[in-house]
Amino acid sequence: MIKDITIGQYVPGDSIIHKLDPRFKILISTIFIIDLFILNNFKGYIFIILFIGISISISKVPFKYIYKGLKPIFILLMITGLLNVFMTRGESDPLFAWKFLKVYKEGLVLAGFMVLRLVFLIIGTSLLTLTTSPIELTDGIEKLLNPFKKIGLPAHELAMMMTIALRFIPTLMDETDKIMKAQMARGADFESGNLVKRAKNLIPLLVPLFISSFRRADELATAMEARCYKGGEGRTRMKILKLHSRDYIAMICTLCLVFLSIWSRSFN
């Protein structure tokens, strides 16, 4: 389960999606997320499915990475669906009733809607990190935050911290998996018992995981100092970000998605 987390992973490639300007990819992802929360009907999700399907096809990212990104949230999806099914009250007669539990048509519709929203949210945001290298992501975030330097915002430092945190998620997950296997070889049990017992069994993992994290952070700081890293002031780049026609085309397609989604709201 731990190795299934794909947040922060990057899949190298030479597709059009990989070559898009990171600033535009971040903006497109932000617009996509906003559009998901604007939608209030299933008709709009038709355009979302087409947009995601075309993006995955063009990016040439193996579908197994998309599936692996969804596996860790299966329990969250189930809880979200069940809560909406049983907590939503409808105006018509219930479809199912047992003691205090009642299922209405409105609850089923809302549960399906919320589950699909979470699935599309994970897939859409995963494509950003799967097709953008950490260096490009840092440069893109920094460029977008540059206008806020006028009010004292440390754009470069903030972008660097965000990217490092995102990049080290897979590393920490891999370290956790190694610690779990080492302790299981010594007789530790992380799979039997109820949910509370399993959570308690994970507590011994915290100490070695924190020690490993602090050690990696210290090694990273030492490496940055050894390379004379002094922050963003006076820093040059080997690759300068430049906009191309493909970036504008991708943005136009995203805006068309938003327009079609808003247009679908009129068919409720």
Please give the tally of structural domains in the chain: 1
Predicted confidence (pLDDT) per residue in 235-250, tens digit? 666 677 788 898 899 9
86: its two tokens: 């049983």
Task: Return left, alpha or beta for 152; rule: phi > 0 is left, psi -120 to 50 is alpha, else beta.
Answer: left
Q: What pLDDT does residue 232 have?
A: 64
149: its two tokens: 């330097």
Side chain identity at residue 175, one-letter code: E
Predicted confidence (pLDDT) per residue in 140-160, tens digit? 888 888 888 778 777 777 877
Q: How far is CA 91 from CA 13, 104, 267, in A?
A: 52, 8, 21
Q: How far apart are CA 111 and CA 86, in angstroms?
A: 9
Range of the domain at 214: 2-267
Q: How far apart are CA 154 and CA 232, in angstroms?
A: 9
Q: How far apart are CA 55 and CA 52, in angstroms?
A: 5
Question: What letter would DSSP give residue 96?
Answer: E
SS3 119: helix
pLDDT-flagged residues of the chain (< 70)? 1-8, 94, 96, 190-191, 193-195, 198-199, 231-238, 266-268
Residue 35 CB burial class (10 angstroms; 0-12, 13-18, ≥19): buried
pTM of the predicted model over 0.85: no
- The answer to whether the beta carbons of residues 135 and 237 sit under 8 Å apart is no
Q: How far is CA 139 from CA 40, 45, 94, 119, 160, in A?
A: 35, 32, 54, 28, 9
- The answer to whether the beta carbons of residues 13 and 59 sit under 8 Å apart is yes
- The answer to whether the beta carbons of residues 95 and 108 sit under 8 Å apart is yes
Residue 192 CB burial class (10 angstroms; 0-12, 13-18, ≥19): exposed
Q: What pLDDT does residue 41 have?
A: 79
